[in-house]
Amino acid sequence: MIRTVAVVGTGVIGASWAALFLSHGLDVVATDPAPGAEDRLRADVAATGLAERGRLTFVGDLAEAVAGADFVQENGPERIDVKHTLFAVLDAATRPDVVLASSSSGLLPTEIATSCPAHPERVLVGHPFNPPHLLPLVEVVPGERTGDDAVGRAMDFYTALGKKPIRLRHELPGHVANRLQAALWREAYSLVDRGVATVADIDTAIANGPGLRWALLGPFAVQHLSGGPGGIAHVLEHLGPPTEAWWRDMGDPSLTPELAAKIVAGVAAELDGTDQAELVARRDAALRALLASKAEHQLP
């Protein structure tokens, strides 16, 4: 049974995970080498508004922090050399039955596990979506040497927290959701680069069009419903050929300094005068309301 979770790395993702674990009555032992990390963590956890039913302890030494853990959620920088340094300690300092889950948004668990010679079978990716204390998705990604038992325990653990975990059948860079996002960003950046639309136009198009539907149902279910009585078979028959033509016409942008500057300037213009912290608070409030509405209407 999982009673104590070690949270390794307490930045935005780690703090959000910690708040979720605590709200479910789990004890959290957190660690982060950054100066002032404990004070920031406690403030960030309090800012989520979730009740702290478990006990939060901060320990400076990594090995000491994870020694008594029943589950480890690692949230260090997205660099394989850093992951190797962290997981070498995790592998040596934890019980052999403890799942070592990385929040990595794109690294492969097989590569991470090369620094765990003792027990690579319990290493996997448990990638959340930001903020983890609100968004239900977790991508559980096993590596080449990850055991089914570790995958099953991770799936069960995240499900018990109210998450909606999916298991990837094959590991690949970026997992599933980030690759889907990257596909959208690719065309969005291309449209900006070609002067077709502004950054604000594209955000408006997604936030007030397909994004609203995608928040309720996934892309395949949305397509199916758009086909009327014929469903997705009708959509593929009648819109398949033009969709293929759109694919062929899509851009292949390079993130040059000039394009990066356009995007940065576009976001600055779009959010001019907006307080970012206040925007995050309003976003999170809307997310809570949306999730409550989805549950009320029994949407997946």
Round to the nearest angstrom and report the end-to-end CA distance of the chain. 28
**CATH code for the domain of 226:** 1.10.1040.10
* Domain closes at, from 167, 199, 232: 167
DSSP-assigned beta bridge partners for residue 99: 71
DSSP sequence for 59-110: -SSHHHHHTT-SEEEE---S-HHHHHHHHHHHHHHS-TT-EEEE--SS--HH
Same domain, 140 and 245: no
- Scored b (16 or more CB within 10 A) or e, 15-40 reads bbbbbbbbbeebbbbbbbeeeebbee
114-121 average pLDDT score: 98
pLDDT one-digit tens code per residue, 245-276: 999 999 999 999 999 999 999 999 999 999 99
Would you place residue 106 in the very low, low, confident or very high pLDDT band (cuts 50, 70, 90)?
Answer: very high
Residue 127: which pLDDT band, with cuts at 50, 70 and 90?
very high
Q: How confident is the model at residue 197 (pLDDT cuts 50, 70, 90)?
A: very high
Length of the chain: 300
Given 167, 200, 220, the domain boundary residue is 167
Q: Which of 115, 147, 167 is the last residue of a domain?
A: 167
| Residues 92, 155 within the same domain | yes
Element (H, E) at 187: helix 177-193
Instruction: Respond yes or no on whether the N-terminal peptide bond of residue 131 is cis (omega within 30° of 0).
Output: yes
In tens, the pLDDT along 142-176 reads 999 999 999 999 999 999 999 999 999 999 999 99
296 band by pLDDT with thresholds 50, 70 and 90: very high
CATH number reported for the structural domain that contains residue 119 in this entry: 3.40.50.720
Beta pairing class for 71-74 and 99-102: parallel
As a whole-number percent, the residues of the chain with pLDDT over 70 amount to: 100
Domain of residue 276: give its range.
176-297
Report residue 247 as tokens.
């694919």
21 neighbors 87 (Cβ within 8 angstroms)? no
User: 214-248, pLDDT tens digit by residue?
Assistant: 999 999 999 999 999 999 999 999 999 999 999 99
Same domain, 117 and 77: yes
One domain, residues 18 and 152: yes
Q: Describe the crossing of helices 231-249 and 219-226 by its angle, rounded to 10 degrees.
A: 110
**Is residue 265 located within the same domain as residue 213?**
yes
For the chain, the average pLDDT equals 97
CB 87 within 8 A of CB 115: yes
Domain total in the chain: 2
The mean per-residue pLDDT over the stretch 21-30 comes to 98
Q: Are residues 190 and 211 in the same domain?
A: yes
**Do residues 90 and 116 share a domain?**
yes
How far apart CA 63 and CA 120 sit, in angstroms, is 17
Do both 158 and 293 map to the same domain?
no
94 shares a domain with 219 = no
Q: Within this chain, do residues 37 and 115 fall inside the same structural domain, yes or no?
A: yes
Residues 58 and 112 in one domain: yes
Residues 23 and 135 in one domain: yes
- pLDDT band at 290, cuts 50/70/90? very high
pLDDT at residue 13 in the model: 98
> Could you give the CA distance from residue 53 to residue 72 in angstroms, rounded to a whole number?
19
Per-residue pLDDT reduced to its tens digit, 59-88: 999 999 999 999 999 999 999 999 999 999
